[in-house]
């Protein structure tokens, strides 16, 4: 049973090939890179939106439906009495052949029935606000075939939330226009909207429908639309109710003949003064231009090639050859791809996130940056500014913001006391990747209020000060509403099932609740801040001395053009003072953790509202938590005293299981009002002792820092999708090519079952872990640090790393060693230490451990 397979990797094409449409859960892909996005399942279900899945939803979707994954872009083919879809759904007519290939920003679904092949290539071209659906019909039979083709999309009335609620209004607002082969959706355009959508096909049509009930029939489902079953469109014109778009085309195919149809789902925005060309008639000029740019097979194929070249480029920045396919495909393809997707979407739109509830998370987006910054630094730069702009003057921040408005989200507000630290985490990653220190001079407002601008560097400073100014009775960080673990709600005390743990009153006034997770996070990020201050001081001193250091200037000038050093307005000495001020805060924090945060065999997790220990051997349940083990070992707190080694051993002893490391142990068996949501989940799920893949890498990095390569690798391989894919596709349930947020833990009813796939910080953390800590190539201000941590069995491997204007071909010879660089030779010359100094050009590097 468990061995059943639904697909396989095709590394040469960078695709996952699904061969059975009845996957254990919809296995989806994402189309689009910047503005226009689509989610698409392996049976063509899903929806599209422009920038914001809540406020600019283009097509409608029903979540958690019966059957699951109901609605999408559907093609119906009528071949005499046989009605079928290339993606099997919704008609579910058995196919003679089915295949879905999810690739980098595209999905190709092919179905064959009665010697007709229908293959649809779905993608969003670069820089275009449109989804292309190139349908190719081929007649493999010996006779002429007369087919009827119906397309189908259902419009969402833009705001995906009110679209599901406000029917007394919605059923009267829907409006469309039909022009040739294009169906325009213009609901609310007459009033405050200046955007519309369209669905076009590049050939004359023989009919259409735009009213859902007329096309489908009130008592039918998507699997039996009346118009299709009768083989006759109604040419309906929607007025209110639920507008849709369906083209009808009669197709005759000679034996062996093949024909392409280019369908285009587009989104247009008009200027206020140019909305209409006549009363009630929308200005279609931009739609015509968009259509013209993609109205032939040649143009579409060209756009598709550009998309593929774009991914060739992105994926050539870090490329490894270890000889282990399972590792190489995750590092070179899927992990990086998932990082792009999480960067684009944060936690907003997936098959587990409705796109309505959440915008971009402050901590989430900063973490996503770290997996993405090497791909497109300029986008990462903008993101950092956007995120920082939602910070408050005291360093606290909005927990989320909406991508469309870039404004902080008042529904959830702030008070998550880990949030500020993540800004350092994200910004430092950007600085090290690019060497672009000018970002620190950017004037960035607080809470998007004009007139409040300070430099980004100042934002970093207030971030850490927020922690320092919010210490509790043990001089450990007060947790606020929650730290990384949104479900450890120590200040919430909720007995009311009608309130959300995430937004209910935060009773942190007078609270003694402190977090060891924030303590570790603070030490790690504050150390980075200290190093940054020193780096800036060094650069400033170099300039003051007129020392035009060749390497530095080269990097400054070449990393994207223009002047890339910071004209930072703080003096050299005040930077060093700032560094020592922060170093003092770090030392104090370390002392506090050693004094009041160590439980004997592991780090405590927290103190609750009343000052009681959480995550201690004194507790009955939740005795040991992963978060503080991860962060305090990454921070190396008490390493000399053996604390980190003991902590990592305790993780193996109490938290590790077959499928990964669980979040805590033992799981909570009852609800604890003083802990909140964490204890609301059944044992083994989500934050209540699920395997929260996101935080497994913290421990793995802790292992790497401690030099324990075998342990790091065994933890890593347990949650590496390609290993899981081979072991248990059916049990795991969700997509086997990406990480999911949570795999049911050892206390669960079904350990190993995955949930919440795609949008998770796991992507960025897995990337950081493997690229910088296991394979050991770590960007730094002045070059690449080389410090792998490997299983003793690792063989030689090569990493090609593009870094600023240089390319390094790095071959590592582990010689059976888990850690410890003995020698680095760059272009034939040995360098001392573990840093390859940055210099433009291509370089050959040999590393011996
Ligand atoms: C989930 C968390 C999530 C939080 C915020 C909770 O229900 O379990 O994983 O961070 O909601 O949306
Ligand atoms: C998911 C949220 O997106 C993230 O911000 C949080 O840290 C984790 N869940 C843990 O609760």
Q: pLDDT tens across 409-426, in order?
A: 888 889 999 999 999 999
Instruction: Give residue-wise pLDDT tens across range 223-258.
Output: 999 999 999 999 999 999 999 999 999 999 999 999
Can you give the pLDDT at residue 549?
44
Taking CA atoms only, the protein residue closest to ligand 1 atom 2 is 486
Q: Rounded to the nearest whole angstrom, what is the distance from the C-alpha of residue 486 to the centroid of ligand 1?
A: 6
Instruction: Give residue-wise pLDDT tens across range 434-462.
Output: 999 999 999 999 999 999 999 999 999 99
DSSP string, 504-532: S----TT---EEHHHHHHHHHHHHHHHHH
Query: With a 6 A CB cut-off, is 488 part of the ligand 1 pocket?
Result: no
* Nearest-10 crossing angle of helices 626-634, 643-650: 150
Q: Rounded to the nearest whole angstrom, what is the distance from the C-alpha of residue 518 to the centroid of ligand 1?
A: 18
- Distant-in-sequence, close-in-space partners of 410: CB < 8 Å, separation ≥ 6: none
Confidence of residue 556 (pLDDT cuts 50, 70, 90): very low
Query: With a 6 A CB cut-off, is 483 part of the ligand 1 pocket?
Result: no
Stretch 348-367: mean pLDDT: 92
**Which atom belonging to ligand 2 lies closest to the Cα atom of 487?**
11
- Closest C-alpha among 562, 565, 564 to residue 539: 565
**Helices (H) then strands (E): counts for the chain:** 21, 44
Query: With a 6 A CB cut-off, is 753 part of the ligand 1 pocket?
Result: no
Q: Please report, rounded to a whole number, the percentage of residues in the chain having pLDDT higher than 90.
A: 92
Query: With a 6 A CB cut-off, is 486 part of the ligand 1 pocket?
Result: yes
Residue 802 — φ and ψ, nearest 5°?
Answer: -80, 130
Is residue 325 among the annotated active site residues?
A: no
Radius of gyration, alpha carbons of the chain:
28
pLDDT at 777 over 90: yes
Query: With a 6 A CB cut-off, is 487 part of the ligand 1 pocket?
Result: yes
* Nearest-10 crossing angle of helices 456-468, 419-434: 140
Taking CA atoms only, the protein residue closest to ligand 1 atom 5 is 486
Give the closest ligand to the alpha carbon of residue 416: 2
Q: Rounded to the nearest whole angstrom, what is the distance from the C-alpha of residue 484 to the centroid of ligand 2?
A: 6
Query: With a 6 A CB cut-off, is 361 part of the ligand 2 pocket?
Result: yes
The two tokens of residue 726 are 């081979």
**Which atom belonging to ligand 1 lies closest to the Cα atom of 686?**
8
Whether the Cβ atoms of residue 38 and residue 71 lie closer than 8 Å to each other: no
Instruction: Give residue-wise pLDDT tens across range 73-114.
Output: 999 999 999 999 999 999 999 999 999 999 999 999 999 999
Q: Rounded to the nearest whole angstrom, what is the distance from the C-alpha of residue 484 to the centroid of ligand 1?
A: 10
Stretch 568-590: mean pLDDT: 90
Name the active-site residue from 163, 260, 436, 486: 486
- Distant-in-sequence, close-in-space partners of 98: CB < 8 Å, separation ≥ 6: 19, 20, 21, 87, 88, 110, 111, 112
CA–CA dist 489, 146 (Å, integer):
63
CA–CA dist 563, 804 (Å, integer):
14
Instruction: Give residue-wise pLDDT tens across range 466-494.
Output: 999 999 999 999 999 999 999 999 999 99
Taking CA atoms only, the protein residue closest to ligand 1 atom 4 is 486
Confidence of residue 569 (pLDDT cuts 50, 70, 90): low
- Closest C-alpha among 671, 653, 681, 692 to residue 749: 681
Whether the Cβ atoms of residue 632 and residue 650 lie closer than 8 Å to each other: no
Instruction: Give residue-wise pLDDT tens across range 658-703.
Output: 999 999 999 999 999 999 999 999 999 999 999 999 999 999 999 9
**Which atom belonging to ligand 1 lies closest to the Cα atom of 486?**
10
Whether the Cβ atoms of residue 414 and residue 450 lie closer than 8 Å to each other: no
Can you give the pLDDT at residue 767?
98
From 366, 409, 490, 761, give the residue whose CB has the most ligand 2 atoms within 8 Å, as the site to mutate: 761
Can you give the pLDDT at residue 393?
96
Q: Rounded to the nearest whole angstrom, what is the distance from the C-alpha of residue 445 to the centroid of ligand 2?
A: 26
- Closest C-alpha among 178, 181, 125, 180 to residue 149: 181
Whether the Cβ atoms of residue 517 and residue 627 lie closer than 8 Å to each other: yes
The DSSP secondary-structure symbol of 273 reads G
Specify the pTM. Answer: 0.96
Q: Rounded to the nearest whole angstrom, what is the distance from the C-alpha of residue 482 to the centroid of ligand 2?
A: 10
**Cβ atoms within 10 Å, residue 304:** 17
Can you give the pLDDT at residue 545?
77
Q: Which residue, chain included where needed, has tokens 């280019």?
A: 262
Q: Rounded to the nearest whole angstrom, what is the distance from the C-alpha of residue 400 to the centroid of ligand 2?
A: 12
Query: With a 6 A CB cut-off, is 687 part of the ligand 1 pocket?
Result: yes
Query: With a 6 A CB cut-off, is 484 part of the ligand 2 pocket?
Result: yes
Q: Please report, rounded to a whole number, the percentage of residues in the chain having pLDDT higher than 70.
A: 97
Can you give the pLDDT at residue 555?
37
Can you give the pLDDT at residue 562?
37
Instruction: Give residue-wise pLDDT tens across range 739-763.
Output: 999 999 999 999 999 999 999 999 9
Whether the Cβ atoms of residue 520 and residue 808 lie closer than 8 Å to each other: no
- Distant-in-sequence, close-in-space partners of 612: CB < 8 Å, separation ≥ 6: none
What is the rounded average pLDDT for all residues in the chain? Answer: 95
């Amino acid at each position: 049973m468990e061995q059943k397979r639904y697909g396989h990797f095709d590394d040469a094409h960078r695709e996952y090939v699904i061969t059975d449409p009845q996957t254990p859960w919809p296995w989806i892909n994402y189309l689009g890179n910047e503005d226009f996005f689509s989610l698409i399942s392996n049976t063509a279900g899903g929806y599209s939106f422009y920038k914001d899945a809540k406020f600019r939803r283009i097509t409608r979707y029903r979540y958690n439906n019966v059957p699951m994954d109901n609605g999408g872009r559907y093609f119906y083919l009528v071949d005499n009495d046989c009605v079928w879809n290339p993606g099997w759904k919704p008609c579910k007519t058995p196919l003679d052949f089915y295949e879905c290939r999810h690739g980098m920003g595209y999905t190709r679904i092919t179905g064959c029935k009665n010697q007709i092949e229908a293959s649809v290539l779905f993608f969003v071209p670069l820089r275009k606000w449109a989804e292309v659906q190139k349908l190719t019909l081929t007649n493999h039979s010996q006779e002429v075939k007369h087919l009827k083709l119906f397309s189908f999309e259902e419009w969402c009335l833009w705001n995906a939330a009110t679209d599901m609620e406000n029917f007394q209004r919605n059923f009267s607002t829907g409006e469309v226009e039909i022009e040739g082969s294009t169906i325009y959706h213009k609901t609310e355009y007459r009033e405050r909207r200046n955007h519309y959508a369209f669905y076009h096909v590049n050939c004359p049509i023989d009919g259409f429908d735009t009213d859902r009930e007329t096309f489908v029939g009130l008592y039918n489902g998507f699997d039996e639309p009346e118009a299709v079953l009768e083989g006759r469109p109604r040419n309906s014109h929607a007025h209110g109710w639920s507008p849709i778009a369906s083209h009808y085309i009669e197709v005759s195919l000679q034996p062996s003949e093949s024909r392409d149809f280019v369908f285009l789902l587009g989104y247009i925005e008009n200027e206020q003064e140019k909305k209409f060309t006549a009363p009630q008639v929308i200005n279609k000029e931009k739609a015509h231009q968009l259509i013209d740019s993609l109205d032939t097979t040649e143009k579409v194929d060209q756009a598709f090639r550009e998309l593929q070249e774009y991914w060739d480029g992105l994926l050539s920045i870090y490329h490894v050859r270890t000889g282990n396919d399972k590792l190489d495909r995750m590092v070179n393809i899927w992990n990086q791809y998932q990082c792009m997707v999480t960067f684009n979407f944060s936690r907003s739109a997936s098959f587990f996130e409705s796109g309505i509830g959440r915008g971009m998370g402050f901590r989430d987006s900063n973490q996503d940056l770290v997996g993405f910054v090497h791909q497109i630094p300029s986008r990462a730069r903008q993101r950092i500014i956007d995120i920082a702009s939602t910070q408050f003057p005291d360093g606290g921040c909005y927990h989320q913001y909406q991508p469309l408005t870039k404004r902080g989200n008042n529904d959830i507000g702030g008070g998550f006391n880990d949030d500020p630290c993540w800004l350092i985490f994200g910004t430092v990653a950007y600085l090290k990747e690019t060497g672009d220190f000018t970002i620190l001079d950017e004037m960035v407002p607080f809470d998007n209020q004009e007139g409040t601008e300070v430099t980004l560097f100042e934002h970093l400073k207030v971030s850490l000060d927020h922690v320092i100014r919010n210490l509790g009775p043990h001089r450990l960080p007060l947790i606020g509403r929650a730290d990384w673990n949104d479900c450890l709600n120590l200040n919430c005390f909720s007995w009311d099932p009608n309130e959300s743990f995430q937004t209910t009153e935060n009773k942190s006034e007078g609270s003694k609740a402190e977090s060891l997770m924030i303590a570790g996070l603070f030490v790690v990020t504050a150390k980075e801040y200290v190093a940054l201050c020193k780096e800036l001081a060094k650069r400033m001193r170099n300039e003051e001395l007129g020392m035009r250091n060749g390497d530095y200037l080269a990097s400054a000038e070449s990393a994207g053009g223009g002047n890339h050093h910071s004209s930072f307005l703080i003096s050299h000495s005040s930077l060093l003072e700032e560094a020592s001020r922060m170093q003092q805060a770090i030392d104090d924090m370390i002392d506090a953790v050693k004094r009041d945060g160590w439980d004997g065999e592991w780090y405590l997790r927290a103190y609750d509202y009343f000052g009681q220990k959480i995550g201690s051997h004194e507790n009955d349940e939740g005795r040991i938590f992963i978060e503080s083990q991860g962060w305090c070992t990454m921070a190396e707190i008490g390493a000399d005293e053996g604390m980190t080694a003991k902590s990592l051993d305790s993780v193996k002893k109490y938290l590790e299981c077959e499928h990964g490391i669980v979040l805590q142990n033992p799981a909570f068996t009852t609800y604890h009002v003083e802990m909140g949501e964490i204890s609301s989940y059944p044992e083994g799920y989500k934050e209540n002792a699920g395997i929260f893949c996101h935080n497994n890498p913290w421990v793995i990095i802790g292992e790497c820092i401690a030099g324990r390569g075998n342990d790091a690798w065994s933890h890593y391989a347990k949650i590496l999708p390609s290993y899981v894919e081979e072991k248990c596709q059916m049990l795991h349930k969700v997509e086997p090519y990406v990480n999911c947020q949570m795999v049911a833990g050892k206390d669960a009813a079904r350990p190993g079952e995955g949930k919440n796939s795609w949008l998770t910080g796991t992507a960025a953390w897995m990337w950081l872990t493997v690229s910088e800590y296991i394979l050991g190539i770590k960007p730094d201000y002045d070059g690449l640090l080389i410090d792998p941590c490997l299983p003793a069995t690792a063989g030689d491997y090569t990493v090609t790393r593009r870094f600023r204007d240089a390319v390094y071909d790095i071959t590592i010879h582990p010689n059976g060693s888990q850690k410890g660089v003995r020698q680095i030779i760059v272009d034939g010359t040995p360098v001392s230490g573990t840093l390859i100094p940055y210099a433009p050009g291509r370089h050959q590097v040999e590393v011996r451990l």
